[in-house]
Structure 1
């Protein structure tokens, strides 16, 4: 019988398996993932990894493998304008360090590098990773959960961890209800090359259709997270690169020279999803299966890594005390640890998106005044940088502070 079965072999699923197995090597941990083997190598996207998450990845031995591909974000610039404005006035800038001297508050990391490093960590710690198979059903008993895999195989586990995404089928199978509403927006994700260096500067332009984020990658490349109304996003992604680049230049501007699309263009519908519970007997939701938020703050994946740190510490400490790692009483500690932070971030991103994704004159005036005031208050800016970096405080999971379990 397995101790832990993780359903979902993305960054969050691999990270939670590696974190638990590193601290409790005697536990039998397995990851199943429906994607074909090596499918992750074709992922063109990149993700913003905050300082707290990079500290956890360092404890897992993955960060040193990721670091050569990681681009530090040295500065964040925020503007508020209309699409056709010739000048985008800067209302707020963030530049500084997170906690430790010289530590950027975030890095941009290609997803390929991150998944590869986490797969290596799992192999090093003895986690079994199986591709091409998924959980198709399960039934929970008093001492274990009986799991049926998509190939017909039966597995028994003390704890089933669902990391199967924002439209989680396992969440529904567990009878956990969730709230969701759509924004009528889609996030266009792609990579562009440009003539001039970005110098580690990330920019977020608040435009009437939604935020347009330019995030630096290694070399003269940047990752885009471009929010548009869904019909417009679908049209842009389906069109040819020339027309796409014309629309891109209207938003991106000329400061980095000529632009060229250097990766696949994809559009993802945006909404807010919050599970009403994160746990059930012998069952836990982690990452997007528990919460899906707007990318306006760049915190979606990092919320999942915070889940990883909290669940791993909960499970490992229970195991060391000889307690049942799948019992609801144990898992509720994880739920208590994570629900408020998740709810707070979900509400914050929802309010920010509604506040900034419009062109109402009085609203623009108030929000620009607010941004300007923050920009002139160093103490408040430092607090925001700490929040953005996820710097761990007393009572936070130890992995987020870079401390091994």
Structure 2
């Protein structure tokens, strides 16, 4: 991965080979930092595995209409159990209800767990891009790129073949402008995002149209090392340009009586470090360990006591990652002054320290 400051051009490269050349690396350390996997493939694999294991009922195309506490009857006391009313007319009583239902989690609302945070006043613009080639590393050594601009980072994440995913964090006004552009002007703006100055980009966002021609002229007077930035974008896949608001949220706790929150239901993070899915997977793994231990020791898996180890294992770690990403966003939002020099000095220093880079990469990859 190649990361650089859009104001000072200070750079850092994240790959295990350069980290090893600058310092020791564990023999078992992988040569790949991360993988890009489409969500549909992840979901299909998980559903396929559930079918193999058996013993699991799935309800496709079914919504949860409501969640309420059950009743105390002569046959069974469900007064502390969540009961889900489904759109297909069925009702399900849950010994443990796992809220993996997103940032606006109905499960979190049912449990009465507050979620605190703030909006970044930024939107993330995403799109699927076609490049002029498979990337400078070739088809077997894909490289991700991220450039920090004052309005937000622009990142290009590799996909198989000559394709890549764009994630451009910017102001709501600029996001709206990008979405309104023709394909040719949008492609030109993405290329400019990795090549032109923040001042140029600010002006280009004010143009109603014609960015392609304006950028072609400006690039003639802006020398860049093409091999240090992504290959040029040649096209954008129709219907893939979209945007979403960026927020930081953190639930006060991940657990309640017969309720556990995971993923975005528990926390939402700025996408600049690509840690949202990783955090959710870490939550799921920790919750599995917690439930397994409760079953092995004969505990009620839905009790607050049995779930406490999950909350303690994940809350502090996720909170630290949320804080780091928030501080990075604020640090790189500064356009001028001594902070620019200090952050650039720090970036270059980390780039020169192999063991420290290895530590950061290991953490980003989900290691300890």
- Answer whether TM exceeds 0.5 for this pair: yes
Asked if 1:139 corresponds to 2:68, the answer is yes
**Relative to structure 1, is the Cα distance of residues 173 and 228 closer, same or farther in structure 2, using a 3 angstrom cutoff?**
same
What are the superposed Cα offsets for residues 243-274 of structure 1, whole Å, 9 maximum, x if unpaired? Answer: 21121110134651342112511101001010
Moved more, 209-218 or 286-295: 209-218
Q: Is the 8 A contact 1:249 1:259 kept in 2?
A: no
Q: Is the 8 A contact 1:137 1:173 kept in 2?
A: no
For residue 303 of structure 1, the aligned residue among 258, 274, 279 is: 279
Which residue is 2:236 aligned to?
261
Q: Is the 8 A contact 1:146 1:156 kept in 2?
A: yes
What are the superposed Cα offsets for residues 349-387 of structure 1, whole Å, 9 maximum, x if unpaired? Answer: 111111112312322111111101111111211111111
> How far is the alpha carbon of 1:230 from its aligned partner?
1.1
Asked if 1:294 corresponds to 2:219, the answer is no
Q: Is the 8 A contact 2:116 2:250 kept in 1?
A: yes
Question: In 2, Cα distance between the equivalents of 1:238 and 1:290?
Answer: 33
Query: How many residues align structurally?
Result: 312
Q: Is the 8 A contact 1:206 1:356 kept in 2?
A: yes
Which residue is 1:169 aligned to?
106
Which residue is 2:191 aligned to?
249
**Relative to structure 1, is the Cα distance of residues 182 and 131 closer, same or farther in structure 2, using a 3 angstrom cutoff?**
same
Mind listing any 5+ residue stretches in structure 2 that lack a counterpart? 18-24, 70-77, 196-225
Name the larger-Rg structure: 2
- TM-score, normalising length: structure 2: 0.80
Q: Is the 8 A contact 2:80 2:257 kept in 1?
A: no
Question: In 2, Cα distance between the equivalents of 1:132 and 1:234?
Answer: 32
Mind listing any 5+ residue stretches in structure 1 that lack a counterpart? 1-75, 83-87, 393-405
- TM-score, normalising length: structure 1: 0.73
Which residue is 1:119 aligned to?
47
Which residue is 2:5 aligned to?
80
**Relative to structure 1, is the Cα distance of residues 342 and 102 closer, same or farther in structure 2, using a 3 angstrom cutoff?**
closer
Question: In 2, Cα distance between the equivalents of 1:364 and 1:153?
Answer: 58
SS at 1:170 equivalent? helix
Question: In 1, Cα distance between the equivalents of 2:326 and 2:80?
Answer: 40
Which residue is 1:61 aligned to?
none
User: Which structure has more strand as a fraction of its residues?
Assistant: 1
Which residue is 1:178 aligned to?
115
What are the superposed Cα offsets for residues 327-352 of structure 1, whole Å, 9 maximum, x if unpaired? Answer: 11011111111100111111111111
Which residue is 1:222 aligned to?
164
**Relative to structure 1, is the Cα distance of residues 382 and 182 closer, same or farther in structure 2, using a 3 angstrom cutoff?**
same
SS at 1:190 equivalent? strand
Which residue is 1:129 aligned to?
58
> How far is the alpha carbon of 1:142 from its aligned partner?
5.3
SS at 1:129 equivalent? coil
For residue 388 of structure 1, the aligned residue among 357, 360, 364 is: 364
Question: In 1, Cα distance between the equivalents of 2:357 and 2:184?
Answer: 39
Over the residues paired in the alignment, what is the CA RMSD in angstroms?
1.8
